[in-house]
């Protein structure tokens, strides 16, 4: 019998999907945001109304705390990529510290009358340490679970095209942010109400319990994960000193060289070629060390090329802090009561932060199905917009949001005290910032994750998070500088006076809008150097 000729193979395009472990990790990210926002979204109210701090001092404390929380992921990411065995262990240890800090904060709130004010910051910063290791490792660990089609590993799926891999990667970052914002929505809306109406002890205990349950679920689901444990010296990750050699190379550099317009990712390709010999002869420690020395400048070139974009995004990070600080304080000066008499309902000002997350939750599912097709219809293209264009759109929207906030505050000052504006006049600025986040924050995640070598992906995510950390410190510095610059006799705090008749938050919002506009102009110039495919997100 003659052998039958096999039928011609047909190439079928698999639908881009996320694996079950990946979805589980996204859900855990949402739970972490619920716990974090359940504590942080209303913290400025707790510091001013319960602890007794001034408005400016409370705002700077919250901003500094957030700054440290966003800076520590970069430190832990470098350690995770250099010394620690795998991301799973990093998540395990940091999650326990996270829960311990939340439990300590709840205990402090219950025993507040017996505690010194300064001790409040110990549990808060213990949470920051836990979050520093938990957040970037969890996101990188979730990206490790990516798949094309069924349950196949993205790294071992031979039939997956680069376009399919890019699509599922973009889908992960969008749904990751969707999950985080869903958790933030619940934390902002429910916990601020519980804290204002049922007490701060209960308001801190609930997020602590939820976070503890999430950590327990993470350990129970361990068999489902694709763990990429990388042994030292295997060549699959940098050797213990390689990342620090990168930092040393960066510090030793006298200038920042932007990638050429014609590079098209050649720097990353050059790096991969330099890494190959590390995998060929891992047993030769001397040769591995010398090759690490040669590879470090290549890695440094990649990171140095990201620093200009990183620096320009700091102003956006300052604006990112406003809903938790001055937007909330602004709402406390407005009418936030619905109804009259016994049927009235008092809206906690921090609850309006939920409008940001609602905007994000509604917009993320629409992005690929409506926004990208609309952009393609207008431009006549088929690839939508690049990652950098997405970031730029968000920056423009953040400028519009701050202009709107300044106009609303100016109007409030003009009509007060004769008329007390309703708090719902703040909704436009919240919604605009939410839409801005969908473009800028999601774009930042994908940009920094894809612009570094595969062995330094956790560091890339830490670099993205550090934008908000340094931006927090920059925001605190701006408040202090403007306090000093605008102080007047009888008003030592200037624009940030505790007296609502003397405070001028509208001027501060105009100042931030101007800074963000200037940074956007510089950003558009820098984008000319990132026209390669590696920055397109496609």
Structure tokens at 358: 């609602």
**Statement to judge: residues 388 and 493 lie in one domain:** yes
Query: Which residue in 464, 170, 104, 523 sits closest to 317, CA to CA?
Result: 464
The tens digit of pLDDT for each residue in 430-488 reads: 999 999 988 998 889 888 888 887 777 777 877 888 898 888 889 889 999 999 999 98
Neighbour tally for 229: CB within 10 Å: 11
Q: Of the candidates 501, 437, 497, which has an alpha carbon nearest to the alpha carbon of residue 33?
A: 437
Task: Place 4 in a pLDDT band, splitting at 50, 70 and 90.
Answer: very low
**Model-level pTM?**
0.68
Which of 226, 241, 276 is the C-terminal boundary of a domain?
226
Can you tell me the distance from the alpha carbon of 468 to that of 473, in angstroms, rounded to the nearest whole number? 9
Task: Choose between 420 and 538: higher pLDDT.
Answer: 420
Residue 12's pLDDT is 46
Q: What pLDDT, on the 0 to 100 scale, is given for residue 386?
A: 85
Structural domain range at position 187: 17-148+162-226
Same structural domain for residues 110 and 216?
A: yes
Q: Do 478 and 383 fall into the same domain?
A: yes
Last-in-domain residue among 226, 255, 272:
226
Instruction: Give me the residues paired with residue 491 across strands.
Output: 488
Q: Give me the pLDDT at residue 288, please.
A: 43
The pLDDT assigned to 314 comes to 94
Tell whether 359 and 461 lie within a shared domain: yes
> Both tokens of residue 40?
């942080």
Residue whose C-alpha is closest to residue 457's, from 187, 139, 20, 233: 139
102 within some domain: yes
One domain for residues 443 and 319? yes
On whether the CB atoms of residues 148 and 13 are closer than 8 A, the answer is: no
CB neighbour class for 486 (10 Å; exposed up to 12, middle 13-18, buried from 19):
middle
- H helix intervals, 416-456: 427-450
Buried b (16+ CB within 10 A) or exposed e, 110-119: beeeeeeeee
Give Cβ neighbours of residue 50 (< 8 Å, ≥ 6 apart). Answer: 112, 200
pLDDT of 22-65, one tens digit each? 888 898 999 999 999 899 888 988 998 899 888 888 888 988 89
Assess whether 374 and 486 both reside in one domain. yes
Residue 342's pLDDT is 65
CA distances from 409 to 317, 475, 485 (A): 21, 19, 21
**Residue 27: inside a domain, yes or no?**
yes
Q: Which of 112-126, 246-260, 420-434 has the lowest mean pLDDT?
A: 246-260
Which one of 226, 243, 266 terminates a domain?
226
Residues 203 and 83 in one domain: yes
Given a cut of 90, is residue 398 above it in pLDDT? Answer: yes
Q: Is residue 420 domain-shared with residue 531, that is, in the same domain? A: yes
Q: Are 29 and 142 in contact (CB under 8 A)?
A: yes
Residues 6+ apart with CB under 8 A from 143: 169, 172, 449, 457
CA distance 364 to 386: 16
Q: Which residue has the tokens 């997350």?
A: 357
In a domain, 6, yes or no: no
Considering its fold, how many domains does the chain have in total? 2
| 278 found inside a domain | no
Same domain? For 43 and 189 the reply is yes
> Is 240 contained in some domain?
no
Work out the angle at residue 63's Cα, subtended by the Cα atoms of residues 59 and 67, and round it to the nearest 5 degrees. Answer: 170
Whole-number average pLDDT of the chain = 78
Helix (H) or strand (E) holding 217: helix 200-220
Cα end-to-end span (Å), the chain: 49
Does residue 491 sit within a domain?
yes
> 153 in a domain, yes or no?
no
Backbone CA torsion sign across 317, 319, 320, 325: positive
Are 439 and 336 contained in the same domain? yes
Rounded distance between C-alpha atoms, residue 208 and residue 34, angstroms: 10
CATH number, domain of 172, equals 1.20.1250.20
- Cβ within 8 Å of residue 462, ≥6 positions away: 73, 74, 75, 76, 77, 78, 136
Which ranges constitute the DSSP H helices of 313-456?
314-320, 326-332, 354-366, 372-379, 387-415, 427-450
d(CA 391, CA 442): 8
Q: Has residue 233 got a pLDDT over 60?
A: no
What is the predicted pLDDT for the residue at 252?
Answer: 58
Same domain assignment for residues 212 and 359:
no
Does residue 420 sit in the same domain as residue 326? yes
More confident residue, 511 or 260: 511
198 within a domain of the structure (yes/no): yes
pLDDT attached to residue 253: 54
């Amino acid at each position: 019998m003659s052998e039958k000729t096999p039928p011609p193979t047909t190439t079928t395009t698999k639908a881009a999907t996320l694996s079950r472990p990946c979805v589980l990790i996204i859900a855990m990210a949402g739970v972490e945001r619920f716990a974090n926002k359940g504590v942080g979204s209303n913290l400025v109210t707790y510091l001013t109304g319960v602890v007794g701090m001034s408005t400016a001092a409370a705002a700077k404390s919250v901003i500094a705390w957030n700054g440290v929380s966003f800076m520590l992921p970069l430190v832990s990411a470098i350690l995770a990529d250099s010394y620690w065995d795998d991301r799973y262990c990093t998540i395990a240890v940091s999650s326990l510290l996270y829960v311990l800090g939340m439990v300590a904060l709840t205990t402090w709130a219950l025993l507040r009358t017996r505690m010194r004010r300064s001790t409040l910051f110990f549990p808060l910063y213990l949470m920051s340490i836990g979050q520093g290791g938990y957040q970037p490792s969890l996101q990188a660990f979730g990206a490790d679970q990516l798949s094309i089609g069924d349950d196949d590993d993205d790294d071992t799926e031979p039939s997956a095209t680069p376009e399919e891999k890019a699509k599922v990667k973009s889908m992960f970052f969008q749904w990751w942010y969707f999950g985080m914002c869903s958790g933030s929505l619940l934390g902002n809306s429910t916990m601020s109400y519980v804290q204002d109406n049922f007490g701060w002890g209960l308001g801190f205990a609930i997020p602590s319990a939820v976070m503890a349950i999430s950590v327990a679920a993470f350990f129970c689901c361990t068999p489902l994960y694709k763990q990429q444990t990388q042994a030292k010296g295997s060549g699959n990750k940098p050797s213990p000193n390689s990342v620090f050699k990168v930092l040393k190379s960066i510090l030793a550099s006298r200038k920042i060289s932007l990638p050429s317009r014609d590079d098209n990712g050649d720097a990353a390709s050059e790096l991969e070629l330099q890494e190959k010999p590390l995998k060929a002869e891992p047993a030769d420690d001397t040769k591995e060390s010398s090759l690490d020395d040669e590879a470090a400048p290549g890695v440094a070139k990649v990171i140095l090329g990201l620093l200009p974009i990183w620096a320009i995004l700091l102003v956006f990070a300052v604006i990112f802090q406003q809903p938790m600080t001055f937007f909330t304080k602004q709402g406390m000066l407005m009418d936030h009561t619905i109804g009259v008499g016994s049927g009235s309902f008092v809206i906690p000002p921090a609850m309006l932060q939920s409008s940001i997350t609602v905007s994000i939750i509604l917009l993320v599912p629409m992005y690929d199905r409506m926004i990208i097709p609309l952009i393609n219809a207008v431009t006549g293209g088929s690839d939508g917009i690049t990652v950098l264009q997405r970031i730029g759109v968000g920056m423009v929207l953040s400028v519009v949001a701050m202009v709107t906030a300044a106009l609303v505050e100016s109007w409030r000052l003009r009509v007060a005290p004769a008329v007390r504006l309703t708090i719902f006049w703040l909704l436009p600025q919240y919604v605009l910032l939410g839409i801005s986040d969908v473009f800028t924050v999601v774009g930042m995640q994908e940009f920094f994750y894809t612009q570094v070598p595969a062995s330094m992906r956790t560091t890339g995510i830490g670099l993205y998070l550090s934008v908000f950390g340094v931006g927090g410190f920059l925001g605190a510095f701006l408040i202090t500088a403007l306090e000093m610059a605008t102080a007047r006799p009888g008003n030592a705090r200037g624009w940030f006076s505790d007296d609502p008749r003397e405070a001028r938050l509208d001027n501060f919002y105009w100042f931030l809008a101007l800074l963000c506009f200037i940074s956007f102009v510089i950003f558009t110039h820098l984008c000319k150097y990132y026209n390669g495919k590696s920055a397109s997100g496609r």
